[in-house]
Amino acid sequence: MQPEIPDHMFYSFLTGGLCASSSTNSTTTTSSFYPFAIEDTVSQDKALAAQRNHKEAERRRRERINSHLNKLRKLLSCNSKTDKATLLAQVVQRVKELKQQTLEITDETLPSETDEISVLNSEDSSSYDDGRIIFKVSFSCEDRPDLFKDLMETLESLQMETIFADLTTVGGRSRNVLVVAADKEHHGVESVQFLQNALKSLLERSSKSVMMGHGGGGGGGGERLKRRRALDHIIMV
């Protein structure tokens, strides 16, 4: 596998032979000036062995780096003849792209890092359900065991019927999109406020039960995807 002394005799004769190395001159030639004295041959052997180690270590280092570069070549499915530099440029671009992509998709489909509530009166868009007012409710918050139960109780107490629920829980955060229907006899357009307040207290209850363990929540924002695994997504009708 290894060439083992392929052409380095050229350099070795230089360092170990006539020419003195630029830095080792003050260490080996202290006790004796005779070029081929006994002490020198011993220390020469030691130095030679050291340099051989050094050389091989460096070779291993190069191999390690190049192996990773080859892995990257495969991951980007690019030719094995592509430059190291251009390969790395492509890697940089790819990482940027992937980061951006996951961020885009994430922001549109997964729970947001900050607590958010949105209640929309969707009567204007399409009013096929004449006797009822339809609201679209969506909010992101910290997940907790009784979140769904509390939510259902809240909606029931408001005499609202859940038509559709899209619940996504991942990484301890929960994103909930609901479509609820309210009777026009008991509710008007102003019920948006009721809903919002009810959800607000729901989220406050949530933050009370968790309190600490998740410090600020605002901070860095670059590595928010790291812990995310196996997303739990439920759609109910």
Partner DNA sequence: CAAGACACGTGAAGC
Partner DNA sequence: TGCTTCACGTGTCTT
Q: Which two tokens stand for residue 160?
A: 């609202």
Its sign, for the CA torsion 65, 69, 72, 74, is: negative
Measured from the CB atom, the residue of 12 and 112 that comes closer to DNA is: 12
Q: What are the E-state strand segments in 91-226? A: 116-121, 132-142, 160-170, 173-183
Q: How far is the CB of 107 from DNA (least distance, A)?
A: 35
User: How wide is the angle at C-alpha 127 spanned by C-alphas 122 and 133, nearest 5°?
Assistant: 55
Angle at Cα 9 formed by Cα 33 and Cα 21, nearest 5°?
35
Out of 71, 84, 99, 214, the only residue in the binding site for DNA (CB under 7 A) is: 84
Among 94, 144, 205, 224, binds a copy of itself (CB under 8 A): 94
Among a copy of itself, DNA, none, what binds residue 48 when CB lies within 5 to 8 Å by partner kind? none
Sheet holding 160-170, edge to edge: 116-121, 132-142, 173-183, 160-170, 232-236
Judge whether 52 and 4 are in contact, CB under 8 Å: no
Question: What residues between 97 and 126 interact with a copy of itself by CB under 8 A?
Answer: 98-99, 101-102, 104-106, 108-110, 122, 125-126
Report if residue 67 touches DNA, rule: CB under 7 A: no
Q: Binding of a copy of itself at residue 235 (CB under 8 A)? A: yes
- If one asks whether residue 57 binds DNA (CB under 7 A), the answer comes out as yes
In angstroms, give the least distance from the CB of 47 to a copy of itself: 18
161 binds, among a copy of itself, DNA, none (CB under 5 to 8 A by kind): a copy of itself
| 75 sits near DNA (criterion: CB under 7 A) | no
Among residues 191, 122, 124, the alpha carbon closest in space to that of 163 is found at 122
Binding site for DNA (CB under 7 A): 3, 6-8, 11-12, 14-15, 21-24, 27, 46, 50-51, 53-55, 57-59, 61-63, 66, 81, 83-85
